[in-house]
A and B are shown apart, each in its own frame.
Chain A
Amino acid sequence: MADIAELVRLLKELEDDLVSCTRCGMCQAVCPLYGETGRETDVARGKLVLVENLSQEILDDPEAVKERLDRCLLCGSCAAACPGGVPVLDVFLKARAIITGYLGLSPIKKAIFRGFLSNPDRFDSLMQWMGRLQGPFTRSVNKTLGSSCARFMSPVIGDRHFMPIAAEAWHKKAHRDFTEPRQSGRTRVVFYPGCLVDKILPRVAEAAMEVFAFHGVDVYVAAQAPCCGIPALSAGDVKTFSHLVEKNIRIWQDLDFDYLVTPCATCTSTIAKLWPAMETYITGDSGKIRDQIPGIVEKTRDINAFLVDVMGVQAKQSADSGTVTYHDPCHLKKSLGIAKQPRTILAASGSLQLSEMSDADRCCGMGGSFNLAHYELSKKIGAKKRDAILATGADTVATGCPACMLQIIDLLSHAQSKIRVCHPIEVYAQSLRQTAGPARAENQK
């Protein structure tokens, strides 16, 4: 599409959502980016105005609008707090797709999304190579956190403190079929690790498997782990997005299972909220892929919510062996309303006292590709999170999203902190391990 009339026509389809913004400006109170910059184009109200003006040809600079639309964490804080209920994220993602369709995808994004992300095997091999080659170029900086930094000046890494890439994607060795017959009555779960857990934080997946085993859940792990599509969608590349949704659905469509469980807040909200909201872009198998989305959404659960709401895990009286503080990932709390369950999982460990940080649901500043494009801003937003974590004096910080984990590791590593960063499921799995013998026997009776 290179026709501006077509751009305008497609943007006009967003009109009903755009006019529902009353310009009250309440989004300014919650936007983490606006909190740093104070610029109206950084907050939802300003961005919605620009999209509307572009659609009404009051503004004829799609590039300027795209540049401003892309400065957004997609945390959804604005949508969650919007008095008028404007579906801000849906509008932003659709507008990004439409404008990208007009301007075209940048060559580098095209190479990454079309060349690698949309091809899971090739993506795995790339990550595997990077995992093997990273050694000489990086060095460990923080033993508690396990973080590394670049050994030499690197334009891509900058001064980030990051977790090394796993030598092998987790799902490759973890692939497994259901082991019990349907009639066994066991809950059947398709476990979807998500790229970050699969390739950078496999320890979270290992913990999840221990917990599933303890609760007698029958687990399926696919031989391929295609991305949920969010990086492509947020870059406006709906072709790759649609392709990835199709790849995933084709893996699941012939399986007989009860729940699709992920330990990644962003994957959960992408599948449960964005797949249906963006279904017009999902074109595979002449619409048959799209038709399966409602069925998938119904089965999709965040792992904390699955354990508490489905398996009935309950909080326990806690022995005082340390304190943990919990950060609410935007994609769990603001997108899905999941805030109690991860805390219940932490309390179910029976070992750590929960010490709440101030503004636990304030965005950590990661925002996926936002961190890559705007590292300095991301760091500034993160500084508030870092200070809130340090103020609790907790020795562990838990959060239900691997992307938030990576951001918090970077923040704490720079602060030379010895606070452990983990997923609630890791805390829970650890407690099961400690009381494994008798409890497991009890559970399996």
Chain B
Amino acid sequence: MTDKQVVRRFEQIVGAENVMAAEADRQAYAYDAAVLDSVVPALVVRPETMEQLGQVVALCNENGLPLTVRGSGTNLSGGTIPSSTRSVVVVTNGLARILEINTEDLYAVVEPGVITAKFAAAVAEKGLFYPPDPGSQAVSTLGGNVAENAGGLRGLKYGVTKDYVMGVEFFDVNGELVKSGSRTVKCATGFNLSDLMVGSEGLLGVFARIVLKLIPPPKASQAMTAVFDSVEKASETVSAIIADRIVPCTLEFLDNFTIRTVEDFRHAGLPVDAEALLLIEVDGHPAEVQEDSEKIQEICRKKGAVSVQAAANAEEKDLIWQARRDALPALARLKPTTVLEDATVPRSRIPDMVKKIKEISQTYNLDIGTFGHAGDGNLHPTILTDKRNHEEYARVEKAIDDIFEAALAMGGTLSGEHGIGLAKRKYMETETSRGTILYSRMLKQTFDPKNILNPGKMIGE
């Protein structure tokens, strides 16, 4: 088929209004939230039904057209940047229906384009709880969350997206519908393809429907803050809390640079001299919450916290989390370009990692603010720069190399929750092995012989 004929076929499948071929439209699908070069796709299509989605995938395969699925394009590792200028971008926001919320069997069935926060709100309205809360939840899609195995602030106690995927239905490259998992708690039927699809970054299939686990919400919660004059003390506190058999739902860390930046931004009275701030929340049964929060405050004091404060009411609680929510926006305003990383280390290594990041920032003379999920070792060193300054950006790239090297040396991982995509594929072999890459490529070759599904991401070509 000629290019024109292919476009006509796409138009026949999804309707002309859902095919974007104009240069100006295509340029708006050339990027995501990662600081990487844009790649303008050949075509953008927006299916509105599952059947259309299957036909779109099959048509891409027939014509050997690379295909990148895009939800809201908030990926931080380049996963939704088109692989090449021949790529077709398949937008999922036309597939955004919540098909079922089952309050008896505690599951929900959704289309891939449903927005995470809207879904969580719909679930909450029915008196249930969907815990994964990635930072971009107000815009991110559930399909993207599953494809990237997104995390969030509640990871420590409630786990991440993979812990809530009960089943998936996806199209293979021929447009055949593959089903795995079920709506039951137990399921030992067939290969566990659902788990394989979680975090597969669009390389193995295209999601059509997802079955997600729901849980009852906690009855009570208590938020508190603890101020420290050293990162070590803060980190020891984190370890001591866990060692005392308490698992807070959220345990967040802000370093001095971030504290100062947030305070400049919001003027909420944060302790600008503090080396570290822990923001902690416990939830569960009211009696347990009461007991745990008292214990945590005691541990904080014992470990040398300068001050510990529990939120007395909803407004105080909101103020605590406002500081955490402000971290990224406040940092982002300092310089035009914000590089947000998510290297993750075992939680006992947090002091070493924070120290290392500080060294790296001095070595390369860069502004780096570090905040993140102390409870699970998932830090977000955030490098503030200006990509137009090529000399400085070269130093940024070296700093990123060093951060990953350090994380891996400490037994950590390249990505806690952002995925590998394009940004981190060059480090993949260092964390895993040559064999892992080859095995993954064989797997992909089997499922996708023409290599049309998001080619080049994660495992290279």
Binding site for B on A (CB under 8 A): 16, 19-20, 22-26, 28-29, 38-41, 46, 49-50, 53, 58-59, 61, 64-65, 68, 83-85
Q: Is the CB of B328 within 8 A of A19?
A: no
Docked pose: A41 CA to B93 CA in angstroms: 14
Segment 262-316 of B: residues with Cβ below 8 Å from A: none
Q: Is the CB of B31 within 8 A of A22?
A: no
Q: Is the CB of B33 within 8 A of A23?
A: yes
Docked pose: A26 CA to B329 CA in angstroms: 11
Is B73 an interface residue, CB under 8 A from the partner?
A: yes
- 5 nearest A-B pairs in the assembled complex, by CB-CB distance: A83-B329, A46-B28, A64-B24, A40-B28, A29-B138
Question: With a CB–CB cut-off of 8 A, which chain A residues contact B32?
Answer: 23, 25
Closest to B40 in A: A58
Q: Is the CB of A38 within 8 A of B93?
A: yes
Question: With a CB–CB cut-off of 8 A, which chain B residues contact A23?
Answer: 31-33, 73
Given known A-B contacts A19-B387, A38-B94, A50 and B28 have beta carbons under 8 A apart: yes
Question: With a CB–CB cut-off of 8 A, which chain A residues contact B72?
Answer: 25, 28
Most buried by B among A25, A26, A40, A64: A40
Closest to A85 in B: B333
Given known A-B contacts A50-B27, A59-B23, A68-B24, A25 and B139 have beta carbons under 8 A apart: yes
Q: Is the CB of B29 within 8 A of A40?
A: yes
Q: Is the CB of B27 within 8 A of A24?
A: no
Which of A16, A20, A59, A84 has a CB less than 8 Å from the CB of B27? A59
Q: Is the CB of B28 within 8 A of A20?
A: no
Is B136 an interface residue, CB under 8 A from the partner?
A: yes
A261 to chain B, nearest CB (A): 30
B393 to chain A, nearest CB (A): 12
Question: With a CB–CB cut-off of 8 A, which chain A residues contact B145?
Answer: none
Q: Is the CB of A49 within 8 A of B27?
A: yes
Given known A-B contacts A38-B91, A53-B27, A61-B24, A25 and B333 have beta carbons under 8 A apart: no
Q: Is the CB of B136 within 8 A of A59?
A: no
Question: With a CB–CB cut-off of 8 A, which chain B residues contact A22?
Answer: 33, 35, 332, 337-338
Question: With a CB–CB cut-off of 8 A, which chain A residues contact B93?
Answer: 38
Q: Using C-beta atoms within 8 Å of the partner chain, give the interface range for chain B.
A: 35 or more
Docked pose: A112 CA to B94 CA in angstroms: 39
B76 to chain A, nearest CB (A): 9
Is B188 an interface residue, CB under 8 A from the partner?
A: no
Q: Is the CB of B31 within 8 A of A24?
A: no
Docked pose: A383 CA to B336 CA in angstroms: 38
Sample of 16 further A-B pairs with CB below 8 A, known A24-B33, A25-B32, A40-B73: A16-B336, A22-B33, A24-B74, A25-B73, A25-B74, A26-B136, A28-B72, A39-B25, A40-B28, A41-B24, A50-B27, A58-B27, A61-B23, A64-B22, A68-B24, A85-B329
Segment 324-342 of B: residues with Cβ below 8 Å from A: 328-329, 332-333, 336-338
Q: Is the CB of A25 within 8 A of B91?
A: no
Is B163 an interface residue, CB under 8 A from the partner?
A: no
Question: With a CB–CB cut-off of 8 A, which chain B residues contact A50?
Answer: 24, 27-28
A187 to chain B, nearest CB (A): 31
A337 to chain B, nearest CB (A): 15
B181 to chain A, nearest CB (A): 28
Docked pose: A58 CA to B332 CA in angstroms: 26
Binding site for A on B (CB under 8 A): 20, 22-25, 27-33, 35, 46, 72-74, 91, 93-94, 115, 117, 136, 138-139, 328-329, 332-333, 336-338, 386-388
Chain B contact residues: helix, strand, loop or mixed: loop
Q: Is the CB of A49 within 8 A of B28?
A: yes
A117 to chain B, nearest CB (A): 30
Closest to A19 in B: B336
A301 to chain B, nearest CB (A): 25
Question: With a CB–CB cut-off of 8 A, which chain B residues contact A29?
Answer: 115, 117, 138-139
Docked pose: A68 CA to B26 CA in angstroms: 13
Question: With a CB–CB cut-off of 8 A, which chain A residues contact B136?
Answer: 24-26
Question: With a CB–CB cut-off of 8 A, which chain B residues contact A25?
Answer: 32-33, 72-74, 136, 139
Q: Is the CB of B332 within 8 A of A28?
A: no
Question: With a CB–CB cut-off of 8 A, which chain A residues contact B139?
Answer: 25-26, 28-29
- Pull 16 A–B residue pairs with CB atoms less than 8 Å apart, ordered by A: A19-B386, A19-B387, A23-B73, A24-B332, A25-B32, A25-B33, A25-B73, A26-B139, A28-B72, A40-B25, A40-B28, A41-B28, A64-B23, A83-B332, A84-B332, A85-B333
Question: With a CB–CB cut-off of 8 A, which chain B residues contact A84?
Answer: 329, 332-333, 338
Closest to A58 in B: B27
Question: With a CB–CB cut-off of 8 A, which chain A residues contact B336?
Answer: 16, 19-20
B85 to chain A, nearest CB (A): 13
Given known A-B contacts A26-B138, A85-B333, A49 and B31 have beta carbons under 8 A apart: yes
Docked pose: A61 CA to B115 CA in angstroms: 33
A21 to chain B, nearest CB (A): 9
B16 to chain A, nearest CB (A): 14
Q: Is the CB of B28 within 8 A of A19?
A: no
Docked pose: A50 CA to B28 CA in angstroms: 7
Docked pose: A20 CA to B91 CA in angstroms: 25
A103 to chain B, nearest CB (A): 14
Most buried by A among B31, B46, B337: B31
Closest to B386 in A: A19
Q: Is the CB of B46 within 8 A of A38?
A: yes
Question: With a CB–CB cut-off of 8 A, which chain A residues contact B31?
Answer: 23, 49
Question: With a CB–CB cut-off of 8 A, which chain A residues contact B117?
Answer: 29
Question: With a CB–CB cut-off of 8 A, which chain A residues contact B28?
Answer: 39-41, 46, 49-50
Docked pose: A28 CA to B332 CA in angstroms: 18
Docked pose: A19 CA to B338 CA in angstroms: 11
Question: With a CB–CB cut-off of 8 A, which chain A residues contact B328?
Answer: 83
Docked pose: A33 CA to B13 CA in angstroms: 25
A108 to chain B, nearest CB (A): 24
Question: With a CB–CB cut-off of 8 A, which chain B residues contact A64?
Answer: 22-24
Docked pose: A22 CA to B387 CA in angstroms: 11
Question: With a CB–CB cut-off of 8 A, which chain A residues contact B73?
Answer: 23, 25, 40
Q: Is the CB of A65 within 8 A of B24?
A: yes
Question: With a CB–CB cut-off of 8 A, which chain B residues contact A24?
Answer: 33, 74, 136, 332
Most buried by B among A41, A59, A64: A41
Docked pose: A50 CA to B22 CA in angstroms: 12
Closest to A84 in B: B332
Closest to B31 in A: A23
Docked pose: A25 CA to B23 CA in angstroms: 21
Q: Is the CB of B24 within 8 A of A19?
A: no
Question: With a CB–CB cut-off of 8 A, which chain A residues contact B338?
Answer: 22, 84
Closest to B22 in A: A64
A40 to chain B, nearest CB (A): 4
Docked pose: A20 CA to B331 CA in angstroms: 12
Q: Is the CB of B74 within 8 A of A59?
A: no
Question: With a CB–CB cut-off of 8 A, which chain A residues contact B22?
Answer: 64
Closest to A38 in B: B93
Docked pose: A65 CA to B72 CA in angstroms: 21
Most buried by A among B32, B93, B337: B93
Question: With a CB–CB cut-off of 8 A, which chain B residues contact A58?
Answer: 27
A71 to chain B, nearest CB (A): 12
Docked pose: A276 CA to B161 CA in angstroms: 47
Closest to B75 in A: A25
Docked pose: A385 CA to B336 CA in angstroms: 36
B336 to chain A, nearest CB (A): 4
B104 to chain A, nearest CB (A): 28
Question: With a CB–CB cut-off of 8 A, which chain B residues contact A38?
Answer: 46, 91, 93-94
Closest to A53 in B: B27
Question: With a CB–CB cut-off of 8 A, which chain B residues contact A53?
Answer: 27
Docked pose: A172 CA to B265 CA in angstroms: 47
Closest to B140 in A: A25
B122 to chain A, nearest CB (A): 14
Closest to A20 in B: B336
A101 to chain B, nearest CB (A): 19
Docked pose: A83 CA to B327 CA in angstroms: 10
Docked pose: A37 CA to B81 CA in angstroms: 21
